[in-house]
Structure 1
Amino acid sequence: MFLEKIKSGESGVILYGITPPKAGTTPERVAEIAEKTLERLSSLDIDALVVYDVQDESARTSEERPFPFINALDPLTFASEHLGGLNIPKIIYRPAGKFSAEELESWLEDLHNQQFYPVFVGVPAPDFPVKTSLPQAYKIWEKHQETSVIGAVTIPERHKVLKDEDVRILDKMTCGVSYFISQCVFDLEYAKQVIEDLSNTCKNKEIAPPTIIFTITACGSAKTLDFMGWLGIHIPDHIQEELKAAEDMLEKSVGICLNIASELTAYCVERGIPFGFNIESVAIRKSEIEASIEMARSIGQMLQDKGVRKSSGGLVTSH
C-alpha cells in the first residue's frame, strides 16, 4: 500500500519512526527491544516503519550535546533480522556519502530483495569526506524506480534561513525522489512556508508536487526539549514557555502536536499538496514512546475523520 500511495500521490500516509538499539547491546536485549517494538506497533494502522541511521552530528555545532552520542546498530540489519513480524514496508535511512558506489549498489539490492525502501540523507557534518554524492546515489538507485520509491529529507528550518527548500525539493524530484520526510515540526509557520512556496513553484512549473511527510514528536522533559534544540529543531519561544510551565509537559506537548497535525492537514488539502505524518519519539523514556503510539493512533483517526486517509486494512503484525 505504501508504494501505491506514494506513486499515486495519495494523502494521509502514516509512518512511525524508530532508531535501532545501541551498538554493543547484547543479542538477548536486542531481541527483547524488538519484541517490545512489535508489541507496541501491533495495534497501529500505519503504512510503513521508518528505521533511522543514527549519526554523530556533534561537528555541526559548537554547543554541547545534551545526551552523549552512542552508535546504534545498522538499521537494515536490525529491521531485516528482528522486525519481520511487522507486515509493513520498512523505510531505511542511509547517509549515502559515507559509502562507495559499489557498497551502495549492493545495499540497494539487499533492500530491494526485502521490499524495503531507501531514504538517502547527507553526511553528518559539512567537512565530512564524501565517497558518493547524493546525485550519484540517486543514479545508482534508478534501476529500481519501476518497483520502488526513494525518499529524501526536507528541513523547514533551513527554508526559513535560505528560502530555497522548494528548489532543493524539485532538484531531488528530477533525480527520482517522490516523497520527503521532514525534520520534526514544532514551528507551524516554518512548515507552512515550505508548503506555500512548494505549491506555488509546482504550479508555476506545472509539475505535480511530491508527497510531504511531516515528522511529529512529543516532548516530555526539559532534557528532551534541550536535545531537540540541539538537533536544530526550532521550537517557538511561546511553545517552549507553555511546555516549561505545564504541570504535565508530555500531555501538553501531545496536545500541541495534534493541533499542528490538524492545521497542516487543512493547509496541505487547500493547496493540493499530498501529505502524511511520521510519528516518532526522540527520547527512549517509556512514557514518551507510549505517547507517540497514542499520537499515531489519534492522527490516523483525525485523517480518517476528515476523509483524507483510507485505513491500510488493519493490524500490522503476524505472529
Structure 2
Amino acid sequence: MFLEKIKNAESGVLLYGITPPKAGTTEERVAEIAQRTIDRLSALDIDALVVYDVQDESARTKDERPFPFINALDPLTFASEHLTALEIPKIIYRPAGKFSATELSNWLEELHKQKFHPVFVGIPAPDYPVKTSLPEAYKIWEKHQETSVIGAVTIPERHKVLNDEDVRILDKMNSGVSYFISQCVFNLDYAKQIIEDLAASCESKQINPPTIIFTITACGSGKTLEFMEWLGIHIPEQVKDDLRAADDMLEKSVNICMEIASALTDFCIERSIPFGFNIESVAIRKSEIEASVDMARTIGQLLRKKGLRKSSDDVVTEVMDVV
C-alpha cells in the first residue's frame, strides 16, 4: 500500500526506521538481529520500513562526536538478504554524490528488482567530492517512475536558518520526488513553519503539495540527547530542561514525541498537506527500541482516530466485500 498511498498523496503514512548492524558483525549475529527486528515489527501496522545508510558526518562540524563512528552494513544488502520475511516495502537511503552514474544506475536496478524504493540524500560534508549530483541522480531514477516512488530529506533546522526549504522541496518535486522524510523533530515550531510556508508556496503556484513524513525519535539518556544535538537536531531549551529533570527521561521523551505527533497531525490536516510519521529506532538499548515500537502503535491509533488509517476490522470487511 505504500506505493499507492504516496502516489495518491494520502495522509496517514506510517514508517519505521532502522540502521543496519555494524560492519564486521558475524553472519550469525546479523541473522539474530534481523530476526529480532522481524519479530518486533511483524505485528506493527506500518506501511514500509526505512533502512538508513550510515555516514560519517564528523567533517560537517568541529564539535567532537559524542559516540565514535562505526561503519554499518550496506542497507540494501541487509534488507534484501535478511529482512525478506518482513513482507512490507523497504525504503533504502543512499548518498547519491558518493557514487558514479553507472554505480547509481546499477544500484537502482537491484533496488527495483527487490521492489524497494530509494531516498537520495546529500553528501556527508560540504567539501566532499561529488560524483553524481542530486538532479543527475533523479534523472537516472526516472525510468522507474511508473512502478516506484522516490523520496528526499527535509530539514526543519535548515529552514529556520535559510528560510528556503519550501523552495528546495518544490525544486525536488520537479525532479520527480513525491515525498519527503524529515530530520527528527523535537522543535514543533520549526516543523510547523515548513508546513506553513510549503502550503503557501503550493497555493500560490496552484500545485498539489507532496507528502511530508515527520521523523519521531525517543531519547532515553543524556548521551543520546547530546548526540541528537551533534547531528543538528534543534531541541528547545525548555524541552532539554524537562528531559534532564525527569525521573524517567525515556518516558518523558515519549510523551513529548506524542504531543508533537498530535499537534502536527492537526496542523497538517488544517492546511491540507498530506503527511505521515517515521518512527526512528537507531538506539541499541532494549528499552529505547521497545519505546519506539510502542510509539508506532500509539501513533497508528492516533491516525486511525482521525480517519487516516483503516483498522484491521475495516480491512477484513473490504476483503469480504470483494470476495
Q: TM-score, normalised by structure 1?
A: 0.97
In 1, are the aligned partners of 2:16 and 2:49 still within 8 Å (CA)? yes
Does the C-alpha gap of structure 1 residues 311 and 111 become closer, same or farther in structure 2, counting only changes over 3 Å? farther
Unaligned 5+ segments in structure 2 are 317-323
Match of 2:267?
A: 267
- Distance in 2 of aligned mates of 1:311 and 1:57: 40
Q: Match for residue 169 of structure 1?
A: 169
Q: Is the 8 A contact 1:215 1:279 kept in 2?
A: yes
Equivalent in the alignment of 2:79: 79
* More RCO (CA 8 Å, sep 6+): 1
SS in 1 for 2:128: coil
Moved over 3 A (4+): 311-314
**What letter corresponds to residue 73 of structure 1 in structure 2?**
L
Quote the Cα distance in structure 2 between the aligned partners of 1:75 and 1:281. 15
**CA RMSD after TM alignment:** 0.9
SS of equivalent to 1:272? coil
Q: Which amino acid letter does the alignment assign opposite residue 63 of structure 2?
A: E
The Cα of 1:216 is off from its aligned counterpart by 0.1
Q: Deviations over 1:28-81 (max 9, x none)?
A: 000000001001111100000000000000000000000000000000000000
Query: How far apart are residue 119 of structure 1 and its match?
Result: 0.1
SS at match of 1:235: coil
Match of residue 35 from structure 2: 35
3-state secondary structure, aligned to 2:129: coil
- Indicate conservation of the 8 Å contact 1:105/1:141, yes or no: yes
Equivalent residue runs for 1:35-114 within 5 Å = 35-114=35-114
Match of residue 193 from structure 1? 193
Q: Is the 8 A contact 1:45 1:311 kept in 2?
A: no
Aligned to 1:234, the other structure's residue is in SS state coil
Partner of 1:317: none
Structure 1 partner of 2:229: 229
Identity of aligned residues (%): 79
Counterpart in the other structure of 1:153: 153
Give the conservation status (yes or no) of the 8 Å contact 2:15–2:279.
yes
Residue deviations 1:4-46 (CA, integer Å, cap 9, x gap) = 0000000000000000000000000000000010011111000
Distance in 2, Cα, partners of 1:84 & 1:145: 23
Provide, for residues 128-170 of structure 1, a one-character-per-residue CA deviation record: whole Å limited to 9, x for no partner.
Answer: 0000000000000000001100000000000000000000000
- What is the alpha-carbon distance in structure 1 between the residues aligned to residue 280 and residue 290 of structure 2? 10
Contact 1:76/1:92 (<8 A) preserved: yes
How far apart, CA to CA, are the structure 2 residues paired with 1:245 and 1:150? 41
- 1: distance between equivalents of 2:73 and 2:237? 35
Name the CA distance, whole Å, in 2 between partners of 1:67 and 1:218: 17
What TM-score, normalized by structure 2, do the two folds share?
A: 0.96
Q: Which amino acid is the alignment partner of residue 271 of structure 2?
A: R
